[in-house]
Structure 1
């Protein structure tokens, strides 16, 4: 095993970032989104086209049984837990930088989303939620009848 001399300035910067997240939960959410309950927030991509809205969330090492996905009112809620599994006899940790514990993310759905037509898959640590848009129907001419 190689011995690594720690960089004290890097260690100080990492500690400062952790303290910022701990004491200023609004900064931890990123992009003006407040940190909800939980220890960490998985990264999310949200995009849409004419037919659907897609939410992709990175959930490495989170088991499918530990993910709760539901809609309350007009809000999509994704919550769960990434567990740190230690076997003290086999592993001696020198550093733990990845976040573990519970997470909760919520996103307000637009009125165009059909809440009854939602699909979710989890593949290679990425949760993909597809929310189909309501069929607005095509424009049609309405005939006016004479009295």
Structure 2
């Protein structure tokens, strides 16, 4: 018996790499294992561990309203900056959970920060922007800039 007879054979009858199938099985095992764990929604951005809050932007005739879901955060945890017509929402979340029982003590800590940037229309008055946080929902109200008025310039005869 040769070593070649012990290795798996691929469809085209060539010897397959045994480590590729081992890697697939390990990946499948970890996927199955982590499938039941809760995610950080609504702080997920598709990658499961990133703290990227969900943001909704709506517009009326007079203002732009930005709403972000920030569960568990307080006003002191959120910072909003405006520079060069870019609105930046930053935040940091930290949580500590402790369980004590007769036979054990469990302490879990989690930390994370996020940053979202949104481009605003030119001419926005940064001093007129208002923000409030209530029950984990941040609401930022940006007044729309007044449209530029065309001014007629009189042409005079040169002397």
Q: Give the TM-score taking structure 2 as reference length.
A: 0.58
Flag the structure with larger Rg.
2
Match of 2:125, SS state, is strand
CA contact (8 A) 2:45 2:51 kept: no
Matched, 1:45 2:64: no
1:132 maps to 143
> Any runs of at least 4 consecutive aligned residues in structure 1 with deviations exceeding 3 A, and if so which?
8-15, 90-93, 137-140, 142-147
Equivalent residue pairs, number: 120
Secondary structure (helix, strand or coil) at the match of 1:65 reads helix
Q: CA deviation at 1:116?
A: 2.5
**Residue 117 of structure 2 corresponds to residue 102 of structure 1:** no
RMSD, matched Cα: 3.8
Change (3 A) 1:112 1:86: same
Structure 2, unaligned runs of 5 or more: 1-29
- Greater relative CO (CA pairs within 8 A, separation 6+): 1
- The gaps in structure 1 that reach 5 residues or longer are 1-7, 19-27
Which structure 2 residues correspond to residues 1-147 of structure 1 after superposition, within 5 A? 11-13=33-35, 29=45, 39-89=50-100, 92=106, 100-136=111-147
- Distance in 2, matches of 1:101 and 1:146, equals 65
Return the alpha-carbon distance in structure 2 between the equivalents of residues 100 and 14 of structure 1. 21
- Which whole-Å CA distance do the structure 2 matches of 1:39 and 1:100 have between them? 11
- Give the structure-1-normalised TM-score: 0.62
Give the CA deviation at 1:74: 1.7
Q: CA contact under 8 A between 1:44 and 1:56: conserved in structure 2? A: yes
Say whether the 8 Å CA contact 1:53–1:133 is kept in structure 2: yes
